[in-house]
Amino acid sequence: MRYSSIILLASSATAFSLPDLSAIIPLFTRRDGGGGGDSGSGSSSGSGTCPSVWTNVSKELTTKFLSGGQCNPDARAAIRLIFHDCGSWNTAQGATGGCDGSLILAGELSRSENKGLAAIAGYVENMATKYNVGVADMIVFAGSHAIVTCPGGPQIRTYVGRKDSTTPAPDGLLPDVNAPAADLYKLFQDKGFNAVDLAALIGAHTTSNQFNFNTSAAAVGLPQDSTPGLWDVKFYSQTTNPPKGVLVLPSDAKLAVHPVVGKEFSGFVNNQGKWNGKFADAMGRMALHGSNGAQGLVDCTAALPGATNTKREMRGMPLFAPRH
């Protein structure tokens, strides 16, 4: 029996083992679009001791997500997966929906906005079965693990103990890559996020490559900043001044110049520490969507890799390491 008795814009999806890169699209999009700091505070503290199984899960995920000193396509897929499961939520749903595993368990993979997620979803579901834990918890833990596995990424406050759900999430709650900035801002406000949160969360596109937004031969596979294997702030400067080889998504371009969100967006340019802190806080709260805060959950943040480890990996990484 899976451990579920107690109880999200990012990146691109990919296959496991031998990635089907043609299926990758940027994270947290609808229709045809893309996908060190302190730990996120999330909400109130959980209770109990983290089951030791999550330490074993973490070791396996490190092998899966880290290649040549950089986070690879599997890591980017896991980041997109957590956004799409947890992000299909708004405050009106309260302690239901959100991070509940329905993306995998309720047939949501067939939705157009989730195109390209089937392979990583299959891997995550198999991991949940292998380690006898909940699918919802594995989605969240894998997403948090992938973020900190990327060199420079923050450690996100991560809880386990969710209840899996086979009830599909409401449609229309994920951002459309072609939507006006005002609509995107309102969509995130309905999820409990302010302008700072939104500007920080879309920075996860630093690890994104697009495959389905622009399907021209020259554009397929292009990243949203020049270092998709690293968790850095180049996305913020390169969205408004993209170098050759970087594709800017319409939603990112619009938010970068939005009168409210744009001010926060520009505040992250060349400011890694500020961004990591704001991102970790917002992501920690997203990972509790559909829960009553952290009540009844167990804090397993300590089972994740430490951010200091990824910094060491980055220092030892070849200057021109291959992208993944």
193 lies in some domain: yes
Q: What is the pLDDT of residue 182?
A: 98
Annotated binding site: 85, 98, 100, 102, 205-206, 225, 227, 232
| Residue 310 reports pLDDT greater than 90 | no
Answer whether residue 10 is part of any domain.
Answer: no
pLDDT of residue 17: 28
Q: What is the pLDDT of residue 48?
A: 85
Catalytic residues: 84
CATH code, domain carrying 272: 1.10.520.10
Range picked from 9-18, 19-28, 209-218, 269-278 for highest mean pLDDT: 269-278
Which pLDDT belongs to residue 45? 59
Whether the predicted pLDDT of 239 surpasses 80:
yes
Candidates 55, 45, 63, 309; CA nearest to 159 is 45
| 11 lies in some domain | no
What is the number of domains present in the chain?
Answer: 1
Q: Residue 322 has what pLDDT? A: 33
pLDDT of residue 89: 98
In a domain, 294, yes or no: yes
| Residues of each annotated binding site for heme b | 205
The beta-strand segments (E) located in the chain are: 66-67, 70-71, 159-160, 298-299
Assess if residue 198 is contained within a domain.
yes
CB 205 within 8 A of CB 250: no
Residue 319 resides in a domain: no
Q: What is the pTM of this model?
A: 0.84
Q: Under DSSP, is residue 20 helix (H, G, I), strand (E, B) or coil?
A: coil
C-alpha distance from residue 217 to each of 207, 222, 290 (Å): 21, 10, 40
**Is there a contact between 248 and 237 (Cβ–Cβ < 8 Å)?**
no
Binding-site residues for Ca(2+), please? 85, 98, 100, 102, 206, 225, 227, 232
Give the mean pLDDT of 148-165: 97
Contact 79, 207 (CB under 8 A): yes
Contact call for residues 102 and 117 (beta carbons, < 8 A): no
- Considering the domain boundaries, does residue 2 fall inside one? no
pLDDT at 311 > cutoff 90: no
Contacting residues for 42 by C-beta, under 8 A, at least 6 apart? 157, 159, 284, 285, 287, 288, 293, 294
Please say if the pLDDT value at position 72 is more than 80. Answer: yes
Q: Is 95 inside any structural domain?
A: yes
* Domain ranges, residue 91: 52-309
Residue 223, beta-bridge partner list: 209
Q: Tell me the mean pLDDT in the region 120-137.
A: 98
Residue-wise pLDDT tens digits, 164-186: 999 999 999 999 999 999 999 99
